[in-house]
Amino acid sequence: MIQDIAPKRLDNQYKPDAAPQDDSVVFYFRDGKVLVRQDEGKLFPTYAQLQRPQDCVYLFTIGRKAFFLLLSAEDPVIPAGFDFEPVRSIRSNKEAKLPSFYAFYTALHLSGWYRVNRFCGACGQQTVLDTKERALRCTHCGNIIYPRINPAVIVGVLHDGKILVTKYARNAEVPYYALIAGFTEIGETLEETVKREVMEETGLHVKNIRYYKSQPWGSAADILAGFYCDLDGSPEIHMDRQELSRALWASPADVILQPDDWSLTNEMMQRFKEGKPC
């Protein structure tokens, strides 16, 4: 999955004094797009390739390579062979390596947080980078803003040797399946989120809720908690057509996996498809 980058590992300790080196990777996001090289590899630019711009904020390190985010209000010099591509297209790039993809999604998460918190939500004054931890601080009222992480669930509902699979209404044309998913609401446990989301999207009741695994997913700034559970009652599906285009019970042979194996959703469906304990 996306976090499985061993033997490399993510070091996300905040280092406010870290300075980019010429080979440091620099992510530059603009209007829902990211700067990438246009030839084979689709790699992200280095600090030297961008002619050593100012306003690079340290993000994290994977292995021995440091990653930075360019927060400049003005465009840097775009090197030859580079251009902006929609962030959604990066996942479909078959040449992307897992550590780079993980770095991209984590950088995307942090980029969104920095972008929407340039001003204090309490007093409206401009925020600055904290000097001790990954936070934004208001110099006027002292308000501290930490990166937002949204809790969400992925649910594999099982019944009579089948699993409940879905297709989102917004992605009705894709050939592969997904699982029930949704964000946790205020005052709600993860298990309660599982029950509510399954009921809201398919009208089904569930029991025997059991935790499987978690995964960070930067495109939605969330931490996904995966659960399997069993049907409780009637298997008749009453689909929420605003959320879903399809919802059905699928046998292992009928489960159509996603084109990559980077998501917790795909891993959970593949586990069922291969007959492993769920």
What torsion, rounded to 10 degrees, do the Cα atoms 256, 260, 265, 271 define? Answer: 70
- State residue 176's pLDDT score: 92
Contacts of 255 (CB under 8 A, 6+ apart): 163, 165, 177, 269, 272, 273
Give the pTM.
Answer: 0.91
Give the CATH fold of the 150-273 domain: Nucleoside Triphosphate Pyrophosphohydrolase (3.90.79)
SS3 content of the chain, % helix, strand, coil (to 5): 20, 35, 45
Report the b/e string of 76-107 with b at 16+ CB within 10 A: beeeeebeeeebeebbebeebebbbbbbbbbb
Tell me how far CA of residue 246 lies from CA of 156, 240, 257, in angstroms. Answer: 15, 9, 15
What angle (nearest 5°) sits at the alpha carbon of residue 149, between those of residues 76 and 218? 50
Say yes or no: do domains 10-116 and 150-273 share a fold. yes
Q: Within 10 Å of residue 56's Cβ, how many Cβ atoms?
A: 23
Tokens of 208: 């025997």
CA separation, residue 140 to residues 4, 120, 132, 135, 137 (Å): 42, 9, 18, 15, 9
Q: Collapse the DSSP code of 165 into the 3-class scheme (helix H, G, I; strand E, B; otherwise coil) and give the result.
A: strand
Tally the C-alpha atoms within 13 A of residue 4's C-alpha that lie toward its C-beta.
8
Per-residue confidence (pLDDT) for residue 19, from 0 to 100: 95
Contact 129/16 with Cβ under 8 angstroms?
yes
Q: Where are the domains positioned within the chain?
A: 10-116, 119-147, 150-273
Residue 132, pLDDT score:
92
Question: What is the reported pLDDT for 95?
Answer: 57
Fold entry, domain 10-116: Nucleoside Triphosphate Pyrophosphohydrolase (3.90.79)
Q: How far apart are alpha carbons 184 and 180 in whole angstroms?
A: 13
Give the pLDDT means over successive 10-residue stretches in the chain (278 positions): 84 92 94 86 85 93 93 82 88 70 92 95 96 95 96 98 94 88 97 98 98 94 97 97 94 92 93 97
pLDDT at position 238: 97
User: Rounded CA gap, 164 and 6, in Å?
Assistant: 31
